[in-house]
């Protein structure tokens, strides 16, 4: 018998090597193995096993198994091959994305947390009251922890007498205690959706439900049915901040059947959760993008909440789209996929309109609660009146809510204090030395930071170019809005939620809990506060600079703007109190903003799909971006032009080749990009495979990105 093995060696990370399987070792597909390679001994993973080997070469033997059982199941091996074939990543990249850090091929880390426990071994008479007191503690318990036994001298005697014994047992790091949440009876509208999913023979469903329509309750009832069939469920959410509240609801309903996966967990915690899944101790995983690779073997349902969110697209190799992987997994398991959103991606909604997905729609909030009233404020008019960052309408609403002891959420999708610093004398903008990007001013530590490479300096006193003292702060971010709020409203309690305030472990959870416990009047943040959060006392949402995302040069900018505004609008008035939304903008008549006023997704879709068709953008074509990254501008430019020439010579005019374009320098790396618009992937893949092979060990870096988030 012979095994095809991959290993963590950069030169060969996309190649398999064949080894002979010794008769005394039971090697299976998915096993980690210790193998000889040249003069070294390395670790590898078995991708395939075959009966014979036709080449006339003397093969080396596998030395040993690393684990008792295979760490990859057959479906995961299938997914490794799927990722490699569809995204042109390497075998090794595909392996790494679905395994915890502790199971890297190059390491044998056994990061298992343990705790000591004392058990009764033999029941004997004891001589002292202290010894008897310890034994009395066992009346209602199978074991005792060291912290429960105060008399260490008596404990030592019991151990020496062989009455007690100590055992070191594995302990999971995450707390599994959640308040029990009772099942809520579905409304008639929810029940209809639930039954349609349950009884339909279709496999992919798109649920468009207005914010507050109770999509999560439908999810949980569907999950309950799947668990009754002894099948497993993956629930995907885009943000850690959303995961916090959602996990509480799922754990409250399903208790210890739930595992958690997201980037906020430590490596040890992720390893614990992975082991729970592998050992079949849980049957539900709730997590962000990477949870799609959970090592379940009998999936019955996959749910993607906020399916339109950009975080479902992986930006590094393998550059997969989560929905593509989810579709492969439901095909493999004969399962169902439910996509949910108040603002589905145009691609998903277009597929639903032509019955590729089964379309379901919830048009009203639970118990017919009113959607919040949306007011669009023209900031050009406000400026003429002498108002600046916060409009007069917003001020009045905020004051009203403070007096009523109700809470407010304020969104500005920019962190820091000011976007950039400019010299009033010569016009010089202070830029990052590593990037072609202006530095952002952070007032809390009087520093200038680059949000791309993390370069940081103290705020200078003079302009480096002309030595002028007149440096002006331009633009605004969350820090500045916080300062303005404190200057207008006495004793207002504001908590910020952005990348600066959530960098520490569990900071998301603490901010959300403190705001929910009414320790603050205002939750001020970037887009991370826009989705999924549910606070009973929030009755006002204010959006500042609502049109800022419209000016990004990308065909999805209108879609992003409409989605963000619709989602954040849904945070107000979700319970007994009615909500108001104030959207401040300099472009009040743009359809992506105007249609938010009536929560009108369908008309937005009709407007946007017409533009996409005219300009030949998805869903009317697919897009692949080919990028060259280099620290040498001339070399990078030369290579992207070579690629362009290859594409033009090998692809016909049905494939639209655009570019190359040049990106701003980031972290001393220049970027060059060409994009192809296409309908048929097969001829594109053949050419891209040739190009990819050429650049595997090149001095420049090649990136091939199918259906990228941004162009």
pLDDT (tens digit, 9 = 90+) per residue, 172-207? 777 766 778 888 899 999 999 999 999 999 999 999
- Tell whether the model's pLDDT for residue 98 goes beyond 90: no
**CA atoms within 13 Å, Cβ hemisphere of 510:** 9
- The pLDDT value recorded for residue 179 is 76
Instruction: Check whether residue 91 and residue 200 sit in a common domain.
Output: no
Tell me the pLDDT tens digit for each residue of 451-504: 999 999 999 999 999 999 999 999 899 999 999 999 999 999 999 998 888 878
Tell me the pairing of strands 358-362 and 204-209: parallel
- Asked if the structure places residue 496 within a domain, the reply is yes
Average pLDDT estimate for 142-154: 90
Tell me the pLDDT tens digit for each residue of 362-407: 998 887 888 899 999 999 999 888 888 999 999 999 999 999 999 9
Quick check: bond before 619 cis, omega within 30? yes
Instruction: Specify burial of residue 288 (Cβ count, 10 A radius: 0-12, 13-18, 19+).
Output: buried
Query: 346: pLDDT confidence band, cut at 50, 70 and 90?
Result: very high
- Asked if the structure places residue 403 within a domain, the reply is yes
Spatial separation of the C-alpha atoms in residues 268 and 568, rounded to whole Å: 34
- Asked if the structure places residue 665 within a domain, the reply is yes
Residue 72, φ and ψ in degrees, nearest 5: -115, 135
Spatial separation of the C-alpha atoms in residues 201 and 209, rounded to whole Å: 21
Query: Quick check: 678 and 622 in contact, CB under 8 A?
Result: yes
- The pLDDT value recorded for residue 695 is 83
Of the candidates 73, 103, 133, which is a domain's last residue? 103
Q: Between these two residues, 35 and 9, which has the higher pLDDT value?
A: 35
Indicate the range of 103-112, 627-636, 680-689, 695-704 predicted with least confidence. Answer: 103-112
- Tell whether the model's pLDDT for residue 337 goes beyond 80: yes
- The pLDDT value recorded for residue 110 is 62
CATH code at position 64: 3.40.1440.60
Q: Could you give the angle at which helices 240-254 and 507-516 cross, rounded to 10 degrees? A: 70
Query: 102: pLDDT confidence band, cut at 50, 70 and 90?
Result: low
- The pLDDT value recorded for residue 240 is 67
- The pLDDT value recorded for residue 168 is 85
Spatial separation of the C-alpha atoms in residues 159 and 290, rounded to whole Å: 46
Instruction: Check whether residue 205 and residue 287 sit in a common domain.
Output: yes
Strands (E), 262-395: 284-287, 299-305, 336-341, 358-362, 373-378
Instruction: Check whether residue 602 and residue 522 sit in a common domain.
Output: yes
Domain that holds residue 671: 622-706
CATH code at position 631: 3.30.70.600
Rounded to two decimals, the pTM is 0.89
Of the candidates 368, 401, 426, which is a domain's last residue? 368
- Tell whether the model's pLDDT for residue 109 goes beyond 60: no
Spatial separation of the C-alpha atoms in residues 478 and 482, rounded to whole Å: 6
Written as six digits, the tokens of 673 are: 């990009």
Average pLDDT estimate for 220-247: 88
Instruction: Check whether residue 503 and residue 602 sit in a common domain.
Output: yes
Instruction: Specify burial of residue 329 (Cβ count, 10 A radius: 0-12, 13-18, 19+).
Output: buried
Say which DSSP state 163 is in: S
- Asked if the structure places residue 447 within a domain, the reply is no
Query: Quick check: 285 and 296 in contact, CB under 8 A?
Result: yes
Instruction: Check whether residue 143 and residue 166 sit in a common domain.
Output: yes
Q: Between these two residues, 353 and 56, which has the higher pLDDT value?
A: 353
- Following DSSP, what letter does each residue of 290-325 receive, concatenated? GGGG---SSEEEEEEETTT-GGGB--SSS--BHHHH
Q: 321 Cβ partners below 8 Å, 6+ apart?
A: 312, 313, 314, 706, 707
- Tell whether the model's pLDDT for residue 242 goes beyond 70: no
Instruction: Check whether residue 335 and residue 354 sit in a common domain.
Output: yes
- Tell whether the model's pLDDT for residue 108 goes beyond 60: no
Query: Quick check: 83 and 324 in contact, CB under 8 A?
Result: no
- Following DSSP, what letter does each residue of 582-593 receive, concatenated? EEEES-TTSHHH
Instruction: Check whether residue 129 and residue 160 sit in a common domain.
Output: yes
Instruction: Check whether residue 301 and residue 223 sit in a common domain.
Output: yes
- Three-state secondary structure call for residue 47: strand
H or E element at residue 238: none
Of the candidates 566, 586, 612, which is a domain's last residue? 612
- Asked if the structure places residue 681 within a domain, the reply is yes
Written as six digits, the tokens of 64 are: 């040993």
Indicate the range of 108-112, 339-343, 549-553, 632-636 predicted with least confidence. Answer: 108-112
- Asked if the structure places residue 464 within a domain, the reply is no
Instruction: Check whether residue 40 and residue 12 sit in a common domain.
Output: yes
Instruction: Check whether residue 327 and residue 408 sit in a common domain.
Output: no
- The pLDDT value recorded for residue 15 is 85
Alpha-carbon dihedral sign for residues 181, 187, 190, 191: positive
Average pLDDT estimate for 506-528: 92
- Three-state secondary structure call for residue 564: helix
- Asked if the structure places residue 198 within a domain, the reply is yes
Total number of domains constituting the chain: 5
Average pLDDT estimate for 331-345: 97
Instruction: Check whether residue 576 and residue 627 sit in a common domain.
Output: no
Quick check: bond before 623 cis, omega within 30? no
- Tell whether the model's pLDDT for residue 101 goes beyond 80: no
- Tell whether the model's pLDDT for residue 79 goes beyond 90: yes
Average pLDDT of the chain is 91
- Tell whether the model's pLDDT for residue 117 goes beyond 80: yes
Instruction: Check whether residue 355 and residue 481 sit in a common domain.
Output: no
- The pLDDT value recorded for residue 676 is 97
- Asked if the structure places residue 456 within a domain, the reply is no
């Amino acid at each position: 018998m012979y095994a095809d093995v991959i290993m963590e060696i950069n030169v060969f990370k996309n190649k398999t090597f064949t080894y002979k399987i010794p008769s005394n070792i039971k090697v299976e597909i998915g096993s980690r193995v210790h193998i000889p390679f040249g003069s070294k001994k390395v670790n590898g993973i078995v991708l395939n096993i075959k009966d014979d080997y036709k080449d006339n070469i003397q093969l080396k033997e596998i030395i040993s198994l690393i684990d008792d059982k295979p760490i990859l199941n057959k479906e995961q091996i299938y997914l490794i091959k799927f990722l490699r074939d569809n995204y042109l990543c390497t075998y090794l990249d595909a392996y790494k994305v679905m395994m915890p850090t502790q199971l890297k091929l190059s390491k044998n880390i056994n990061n298992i947390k343990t705790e000591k426990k004392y058990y009764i071994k033999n029941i004997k008479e004891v001589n002292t009251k202290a010894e008897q007191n310890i034994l009395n503690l066992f009346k209602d318990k199978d074991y005792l922890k060291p912290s429960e036994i105060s008399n260490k001298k008596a404990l030592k005697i019991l151990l020496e007498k062989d009455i007690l014994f100590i055992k070191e047992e594995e302990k999971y790091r995450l707390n599994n205690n959640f308040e029990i949440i009772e099942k809520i009876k579905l409304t008639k509208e929810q029940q209809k959706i639930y039954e349609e999913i349950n009884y339909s023979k279709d496999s992919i469903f798109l649920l468009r439900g207005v914010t507050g329509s109770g999509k999560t309750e439908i999810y949980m009832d569907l999950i309950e049915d799947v668990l009754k069939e002894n099948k497993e469920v993956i629930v995907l959410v885009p943000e850690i901040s959303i995961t916090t509240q959602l996990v509480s609801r799922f754990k409250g309903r399903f208790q210890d059947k739930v595992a958690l996966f997201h980037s906020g967990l430590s490596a040890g915690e992720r390893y614990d959760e992975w082991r729970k899944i592998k050992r079949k101790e849980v049957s539900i995983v709730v997590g962000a993008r990477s949870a799609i690779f959970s090592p379940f073997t009998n999936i019955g349902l996959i749910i993607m909440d906020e399916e339109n969110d950009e975080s479902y697209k992986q930006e590094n190799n393998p550059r997969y789209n989560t929905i593509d992987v989810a579709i492969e997994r439901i095909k493999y398991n004969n399962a169902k996929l439910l996509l949910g959103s108040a603002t589905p991606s145009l691609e998903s909604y277009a597929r639903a309109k032509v019955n590729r997905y089964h379309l379901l729609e919830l048009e009203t909030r639970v118990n017919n609660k009113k959607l919040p009233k949306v007011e669009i404020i023209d900031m050009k008019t406000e400026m003429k009146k002498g108002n600046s960052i916060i409009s007069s309408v917003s001020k009045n609403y905020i004051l009203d809510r403070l007096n009523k002891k109700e809470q407010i959420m304020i969104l500005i999708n920019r962190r820091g204090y000011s976007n950039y610093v400019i010299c009033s004398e010569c016009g010089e903008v202070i830029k990052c030395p590593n990037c072609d990007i202006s530095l952002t001013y952070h007032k809390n530590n009087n520093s200038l930071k680059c949000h791309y490479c993390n370069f940081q300096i103290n705020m200078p006193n003079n302009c480096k170019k002309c030595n002028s003292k007149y440096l002006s702060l331009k633009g605004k971010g969350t820090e500045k809005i916080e300062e303005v709020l404190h200057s207008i409203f006495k004793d207002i309690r504001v908590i910020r939620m952005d990348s600066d305030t959530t960098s520490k472990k569990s900071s998301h959870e603490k901010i959300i809990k403190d705001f929910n416990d009414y320790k603050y009047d205002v939750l001020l943040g970037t887009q991370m506060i826009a989705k999924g959060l549910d606070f009973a006392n929030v009755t006002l949402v204010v959006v500042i600079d609502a049109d800022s995302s419209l000016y990004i040069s990308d065909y999805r900018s209108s879609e992003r703007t409409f989605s963000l505004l619709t989602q954040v609008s849904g945070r107000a008035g979700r319970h007994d109190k009615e909500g108001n939304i104030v959207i401040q903008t300099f472009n009040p008549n743009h359809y992506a903003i105007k249609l938010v006023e009536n929560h009108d997704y369908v008309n937005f879709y009709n407007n946007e799909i017409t533009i996409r068709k005219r300009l030949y953008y998805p869903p009317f074509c697919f897009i692949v971006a080919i990028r060259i990254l280099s620290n040498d501008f001339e070399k990078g430019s030369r290579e992207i032009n070579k690629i362009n020439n290859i594409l033009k010579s090998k692809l016909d005019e049905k494939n639209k080749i655009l570019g190359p374009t040049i990106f701003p320098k980031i972290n001393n790396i220049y970027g060059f990009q060409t994009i192809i618009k296409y309908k048929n992937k097969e001829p594109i893949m053949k050419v891209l495979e040739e190009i990819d092979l050429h650049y595997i060990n090149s001095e420049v870096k090649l990136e091939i990105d199918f259906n990228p988030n941004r162009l």
